[in-house]
């Protein structure tokens, strides 16, 4: 990748992130929604209750956006201004940070007002749990867990893949993540058909989820959390979650907020009892604003790393990652703190 092309990709990702922060998801004609409808039509044509059919479905549904991204990237390779525009549009399309933070704040407002019916209705915007029997504490817990996981899925991971693979990475990651949401769960219909999509999503999130955990630990002081305690909880509890990736994000969030996550969840009539993450009390409505603010700070930090990556060939980011793996430094946490305060989130 030439320097001008790398610079165009970096500027495009920053511009796309700014659009998401200012405008949120497009209210009409959202490309991801259009992709979901197309994937649904493809599923109806190829569905069989076996993994081979699921693999074909996943390959076609993810491969098409990747090929589109490759074609557009080649066309704009010698046209930096056009490349900035298409990367900005692609980044805006695949990010969901503003919407995620908004939903957390709306949930917090409903819980503080004691409006449990509204809060239960709103939970469907964040996750697929059955909210009918959830009290304030369980609704708050579900929200914090969703914010933690989706900070990786909807913000950090798209930026990581945009940095690594440009526009094809942005589009391919969002396609894979959308398929996982559509068919990657353990319902009777998708127990086998959805396995390839779920495995691909797990693979693509291995690095972003761990980066999200690292950045969450480092940013803990921005929400008045204890960075060292967050690091201890993250290192101790991150592998207790049944997901290889969600535990990284949720354990770090639990440590940063000083709360306890995990417990009994109900999905599609199926009950799961998950190990506890963290040592504090159950989350309350007051924790949701802090979770949203922490998510915003982590997103800004990830954007910085993603924008620097193409310009340095990954050397500076790799060095930062190695330093964070050893110990989140006070200086790095202080810089994250200034980012969080400056964002106003």
For residue 265, give the 3-state DSSP assignment. Answer: strand
Regarding predicted confidence, which is higher, 326 or 46? 46
Percent of the chain beyond pLDDT 70?
A: 89
Q: Which of 184, 185, 250 is nearest to 216 (CA)?
A: 250
By CB atoms closer than 10 A (0-12, 13-18, 19+), residue 244 is middle
β-bridge mates for residue 271, sequence order: 266
Q: What is the pLDDT of residues 220-244, one digit of tens each?
A: 999 999 999 999 999 999 999 988 8
By CB atoms closer than 10 A (0-12, 13-18, 19+), residue 29 is exposed
Q: What is the pLDDT of residues 315-339, one digit of tens each?
A: 655 665 555 555 544 444 444 444 4
Q: Is the pLDDT of residue 274 over 50?
A: yes
State residue 124's pLDDT score.
86
pLDDT band at 114 (very low <50, low <70, confident <90, very high): very high
Q: Break the chain into its structural domains and give their ranges.
A: 3-343
- State which H helix or E strand residue 3 sits in: helix 3-23
Q: Is the pLDDT of residue 147 over 60?
A: yes
DSSP letter assigned to residue 104: H
DSSP letter assigned to residue 261: B
Q: Is the pLDDT of residue 164 over 90?
A: yes
State residue 316's pLDDT score.
57
User: Is residue 90 a contact partner of residue 172, using CB atoms and an 8 Å limit?
Assistant: no
Q: Is the pLDDT of residue 288 over 70?
A: yes
Question: Does the pTM exceed 0.75?
Answer: yes
């Amino acid at each position: 990748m030439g320097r001008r092309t790398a610079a165009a990709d970096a500027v495009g990702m920053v511009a796309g992130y700014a659009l998401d922060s200012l405008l949120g998801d497009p209210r009409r004609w959202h490309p991801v929604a259009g992709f979901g409808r197309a994937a649904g039509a493809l599923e109806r044509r190829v569905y069989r209750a076996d993994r081979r059919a699921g693999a074909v479905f996943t390959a076609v549904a993810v491969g098409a956006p990747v090929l589109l991204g490759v074609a557009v990237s080649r066309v704009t390779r010698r046209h930096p201004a056009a490349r900035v525009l298409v990367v900005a549009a692609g980044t805006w399309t695949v990010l969901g940070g503003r919407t995620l933070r908004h939903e957390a704040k709306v949930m917090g407002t409903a819980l503080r007002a004691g409006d449990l019916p509204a809060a239960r209705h709103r939970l469907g915007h964040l996750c697929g749990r059955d909210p009918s029997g959830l009290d304030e504490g369980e609704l708050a817990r579900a929200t914090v867990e969703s914010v933690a996981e989706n900070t990786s899925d909807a913000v950090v991971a798209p930026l990581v893949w945009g940095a690594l693979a440009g526009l094809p990475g942005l589009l391919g990651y969002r396609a894979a993540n959308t398929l996982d949401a559509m068919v990657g769960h353990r319902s009777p219909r998708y127990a086998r058909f959805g396995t390839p999509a779920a495995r691909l999503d797990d693979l693509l999130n291995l690095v972003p989820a761990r980066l999200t955990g690292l950045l969450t630990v480092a940013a803990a002081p921005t929400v008045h959390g204890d960075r060292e305690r967050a690091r201890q909880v993250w290192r101790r509890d991150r592998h207790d979650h049944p997901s290889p990736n969600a535990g990284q994000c949720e354990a770090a969030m639990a440590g940063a907020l000083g709360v306890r996550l995990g417990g009994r969840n109900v999905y599609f009539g199926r009950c799961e009892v998950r190990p506890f993450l963290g040592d504090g009390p159950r989350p309350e409505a007051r924790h949701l604003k802090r979770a949203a603010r922490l998510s915003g700070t982590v997103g800004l930090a990830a954007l910085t790393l993603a924008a620097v990556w193409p310009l340095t060939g990954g050397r500076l980011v790799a060095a930062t990652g190695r330093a964070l793996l050893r110990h989140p430094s006070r200086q790095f946490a202080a810089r994250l703190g200034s980012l969080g305060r400056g964002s106003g989130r």
